[in-house]
Amino acid sequence: MAKSRYGLHINFIAGTVFGLCFGVFLSTWCRNKFIPCAPSFTRSGCCIENLQFNVNIEVEPADQNALKSSQAINNIFIEEADEKGFLFVGVMTAKKYLDSRAVSAYKTWARSINGKVVFFSSEGSTSKYDIPFVSLKNVDDSYPPQKKSFSMLKYMADHYLDKYEWFMRADDDAFVKGDLMEQFLRSVNSSKPQFIGQAGVGTKEEIGLLSLGNTDNYCMGGTGIVFSHETLRKIAPHLKYCVNNLYTTHEDVEIGRCVRQFAGIPCTWAFEMQKLFYQNFKEYRGSFIDTLQDKEVQTALTMHPIKDPSYQYRINNHFTSEKILALRQKEIELQREISDMNQLLNEQTKTMNKYGLRPSVTTFIPTKEKDVLGWEYVSTRSVSSHLNVNPRKGMNAFRKHALDNTVYQTMDIINKNSRQRGRTIDFKDVLYGYVQTDPLNGVSYILDILLTYRKHKGKTMNAPVRRHAYLHQTFTETEFIEDPLTLAQRDQLDSQMSPFTYKHLIGSKIPQAKLKETVHFIVPLAGKVREFDRFMKNYEDICLRTRENSQMHVVLFTKNSFPDEVEEILKIVGQYQKKYGGELLEVLEADGDFARAKALDLGAKQCSDDDLLFCVDVDILLTADSLNRIRLNTIQNVQIYYPIVFSQYDPDTLCNNKTLGSQCNVEPLDFSPRMGYWRQFGYGIAAMYRSDLEKVGGYDTSIQGWGKEDVDLFDKFVQNNITVFRAVDTGMIHVFHPIRCDVNLEPSQFQMCIGSKATCLASQQQLAEMVLQMKNVLDREVPSV
């Protein structure tokens, strides 16, 4: 339809009844608090099958010669119902859209129609897909589609007039909500002439040119036109006359004229029709990309235009998810009702289940300190959470989505009875909020919301208001999904392997050669004899003694080591060389000041392009199984392995505990939060092929000292589209060592050093406990300013 023809003037007609129940959320207003409950946030991808309606069409092979009808019919649809069907929808399409728009419409909204949906196209149309369509004889795909439209109506009248209560003419780029449409039409008498749609009179320029009388209108085509069977019965004998006596080139205007002349009625003059038959003016290119959650779109019976067929699926998913949400809400309400009844029956102890709990932000009452559930602080841009080591984080997509959804549902509740109350309340902004997730009972929100109050009954007024909303979102019961593995496959399942890993390994055995690959250790070193000694003992255990294929390259900065330290280090290496063979270990002497980048660069240069390098530090302790993870997680030309190592806290702080006394022991494989933390931000330990290191330009050897060179390299890999694989590796432990931050470091490196030093001290929990015992800190006087 031409865009410019929607300027309309609308009159009110009382008496049209709308039986639309949409939001099904419970709302309880209590002193400015509302505690609605909505179930979890699942949007799409739910494992609940769409409710299918009885779209029951049988298609017979084409037999054009056998048909002597005025129109050739490609497919014959056989009616089996004796009873009248509800709604027959004829969708006007064209050859070029039969395999795109028609298919997406058929697979989406057409299923929601209680009745039948058939597509009408030009003569000689074919489709690759199994969709019900009629190829109209003597009709082409030219625009305007007047002949197509009248032929379609004739076809519907000829074949289905007595078989359906309602008939609809729809465009192939419209979306029809079958269930809402049915609810609406059930409230209207189909035995009377009815002509329902969005009424138009043409644009200002067209007034007088459409040959309409002063009070004449027509139903606009794009958003769909509904006829009662009585209307179709009345116009059917005259369709031929109408198509031969056209006044304009507008197909919908001509249908309107035909209905007015022969059924004696105009298109419904009702303001609401603009909303129910919804034309999207907001989005220039259509397809409802940003407006799906708009109030009008929610309550619309039809939506137009959807130019991109894939958006039919997106829209369908959206409304299907809404239905799931509503059904879950219903389920929770019923559970509550059962609980209420049980209480009356005094059976609460027996059958009370948590899904039947009344919504409350204080459902869970902790009895122990450690059970207290924290609240996360949420503002527009960031989230501050006690659950993060670094408490403040940016707002991520899923949180934003959850918050938007919560607000959206909340506004729905607030505005539920707007019309009766004579006011609407518009959402402006969430100023801030608190969120608490209770794994058993659901999610609670306390939101400070900025709203605009608009009174439109009596004396109108607009006023900004702020409200605290207390919201609780209950979880539904756990759903189980069958594992796609067969029983036989499950039997083969190694108990050591997660089903996920197993599925990925099925059929692709780990190549044995990969497990034998030589790992080249590159270890930068300056002084630190004691640590080096420990590191080499560990290395002997996991590599040398077990004859693992590995090579050790120690890069020693002699300038930063005392002469006796250098001697000591060389002595240690010498011992292992003697015991296991000189070719397995080498010491490279580097001159100048310690620079980790330079050390790693030098080490790498000793290896060939196809060698697997493992850049490590003397503070790391390894277990034997970490070697195979290095080999398997590093893929030449494809992937770099950045293990996340476990960093132990300062044992002195850990053991600063009088009850433990001298028994304080740091167990190497104790990964509890008290003992250390996973170094999520550490990029120093990495495994890569030399060729990949070279490809991205290697380490930046201009970086002095320690820190920064690793982040620089990481960035280079990311920029060069090489996959970075990061995972917690339980075979790598960073042993605590006291950190001294040299004030001569470059300021940014110095800051990083101080940061590292602070994070290594102890867990936040323990530090807090320690502070609570420090009388001098707690009781100190606040200096007056």
> Which of 625, 631, 665, 628 is CA-nearest to residue 648?
665
The interface region with ligand NAG, picked from 84-92, 186-194, 368-376, 555-563 by CB under 6 A, is 186-194
CB of 240 to ligand NAG, least distance (A): 27
Sequence-separated (6 or more) residues with CB below 8 Å from residue 110: 55, 89, 117, 178
Q: 189 or 249: whose CB is closer to ligand NAG?
A: 189
Q: Judged by CB under 6 A, how many residues of this single chain contact ligand NAG? A: 10
CB of 716 to ligand NAG, least distance (A): 10
**Which residue is listed with tokens 């490279």?**
588
From the list 380, 417, 498, 720, which residue makes contact with ligand NAG (rule: CB under 6 A)?
720
> Which of 374, 378, 367, 518 is CA-nearest to residue 446?
378
Question: Are the C-beta atoms of residues 542 and 627 closer than 8 Å to each other?
Answer: yes
CA dist 107 and 314 (Å) reads: 12
CB of 660 to ligand NAG, least distance (A): 5
Phi, psi dihedrals of residue 428, rounded to the nearest 5°: -110, -55
Residue count of the chain, please give it. 785
CB of 664 to ligand NAG, least distance (A): 9
Is 652 a residue that touches ligand NAG (CB under 6 A)? no
CB of 195 to ligand NAG, least distance (A): 15
In sequence order, what DSSP letters do the residues of 405-445 get, joined into one string?
HHHHHHHHHHTTTHHHHTEEEEEEEEEEEEEEEETTTEEEE
Is 187 a residue that touches ligand NAG (CB under 6 A)? no
CB of 377 to ligand NAG, least distance (A): 27
The interface region with ligand NAG, picked from 30-38, 316-324, 496-504, 653-661 by CB under 6 A, is 653-661
**Which residue is listed with tokens 């619309």?**
300
Question: Which letter, b or e, does each residue of 728-758 get, where b requires 16 or more Cβ atoms within 10 Å of its Cβ?
Answer: ebbbbbbbbeeeeeeeebeeebbebbeebee
Tokens coding 322: 């809404």
Phi, psi dihedrals of residue 634, rounded to the nearest 5°: -105, 125
- Scan residues 654-713 and list those touching ligand NAG (CB under 6 A): 657, 659-660
Q: 694 or 769: whose CB is closer to ligand NAG?
A: 769
Q: 369 or 491: whose CB is closer to ligand NAG?
A: 369
Q: 193 or 705: whose CB is closer to ligand NAG?
A: 193
CA dist 620 and 623 (Å) reads: 10
CB-based burial label for 435 (10 Å; 0-12, 13-18, 19+): buried
> Which of 16, 632, 90, 495 is CA-nearest to residue 276?
16
The interface region with ligand NAG, picked from 413-421, 477-485, 652-660, 737-745 by CB under 6 A, is 652-660
Q: 338 or 722: whose CB is closer to ligand NAG?
A: 722
CB of 301 to ligand NAG, least distance (A): 21
- Scan residues 754-783 and list those touching ligand NAG (CB under 6 A): 766, 769
Q: 291 or 656: whose CB is closer to ligand NAG?
A: 656
Q: Which helix (H) or strand (E) holds 166?
A: strand 164-171
Q: 477 or 769: whose CB is closer to ligand NAG?
A: 769
Q: 214 or 659: whose CB is closer to ligand NAG?
A: 659
From the list 54, 189, 245, 691, which residue makes contact with ligand NAG (rule: CB under 6 A)?
189
Q: Is the torsion defined by CA of 345, 349, 355, 359 positive or negative?
A: positive
Cα dihedral angle (625, 627, 628, 634), rounded to 10 degrees? 140
Q: Is the peptide bond before 563 cis (omega within 30 degrees of 0)?
A: no
CB of 468 to ligand NAG, least distance (A): 37
Tokens coding 600: 């790693």
CA dist 640 and 683 (Å) reads: 11
Q: 345 or 660: whose CB is closer to ligand NAG?
A: 660
CB of 154 to ligand NAG, least distance (A): 24
The interface region with ligand NAG, picked from 188-196, 279-287, 323-331, 734-742 by CB under 6 A, is 188-196
CB of 81 to ligand NAG, least distance (A): 21
Q: 382 or 723: whose CB is closer to ligand NAG?
A: 723
Q: 354 or 716: whose CB is closer to ligand NAG?
A: 716
> Which of 87, 80, 64, 196 is CA-nearest to residue 134?
64
Q: Which amino acid is at 431?
A: L
CA dist 44 and 317 (Å) reads: 6
Sequence-separated (6 or more) residues with CB below 8 Å from residue 63: none
CA dist 291 and 199 (Å) reads: 23
Q: 13 or 660: whose CB is closer to ligand NAG?
A: 660
CB of 665 to ligand NAG, least distance (A): 11
Distance set, CA 585 to CA 523, 532, 588, 597 (Å): 11, 14, 10, 21
Tokens coding 273: 């029709």
The interface region with ligand NAG, picked from 42-50, 187-195, 286-294, 399-407 by CB under 6 A, is 187-195
CB of 1 to ligand NAG, least distance (A): 32
Question: Are the C-beta atoms of residues 198 and 277 closer than 8 Å to each other?
Answer: yes
Q: 130 or 369: whose CB is closer to ligand NAG?
A: 369
Q: 439 or 661: whose CB is closer to ligand NAG?
A: 661
Instruction: Sort strands 585-590 and 550-557 into parallel, antiparallel or unpaired.
Output: parallel
Instruction: Sort strands 519-525 and 550-557 into parallel, antiparallel or unpaired.
Output: parallel
CA dist 717 and 714 (Å) reads: 5
Q: 262 or 364: whose CB is closer to ligand NAG?
A: 262
From the list 346, 721, 776, 784, which residue makes contact with ligand NAG (rule: CB under 6 A)?
721
Cα dihedral angle (673, 678, 680, 685), rounded to 10 degrees? 160
- Scan residues 440-459 and list those touching ligand NAG (CB under 6 A): none
CB of 464 to ligand NAG, least distance (A): 45
CB of 265 to ligand NAG, least distance (A): 13
3-class SS at 21?
Answer: coil
- Scan residues 357-376 and list those touching ligand NAG (CB under 6 A): none
CA dist 650 and 763 (Å) reads: 10
Q: 418 or 723: whose CB is closer to ligand NAG?
A: 723
Is 191 a residue that touches ligand NAG (CB under 6 A)? yes
CB of 653 to ligand NAG, least distance (A): 9
CB of 18 to ligand NAG, least distance (A): 17
From the list 192, 386, 490, 530, which residue makes contact with ligand NAG (rule: CB under 6 A)?
192
The interface region with ligand NAG, picked from 168-176, 184-192, 384-392, 411-419 by CB under 6 A, is 184-192
Q: How many CB atoms lie within 10 A of CB 641?
A: 23
Contacts for 26-29 with beta carbons within 8 Å, 24 or more apart? Answer: 26/329, 26/333, 26/359, 27/413, 27/414, 27/416, 28/359
The interface region with ligand NAG, picked from 185-193, 333-341, 497-505, 638-646 by CB under 6 A, is 185-193
Q: 664 or 669: whose CB is closer to ligand NAG?
A: 664
CB of 230 to ligand NAG, least distance (A): 8
**Which residue is listed with tokens 């059930």?**
186
In DSSP terms, 461 is beta-bridged to 455
Q: 749 or 763: whose CB is closer to ligand NAG?
A: 763
Compose the 393-432 pattern: x for residues touching ligand NAG by CB under 6 A, - for all others. ----------------------------------------
- Scan residues 95-124 and list those touching ligand NAG (CB under 6 A): none
CB of 222 to ligand NAG, least distance (A): 29
Residue numbers of the site for ligand NAG (CB under 6 A)? 189, 191-192, 657, 659-660, 720-721, 766, 769
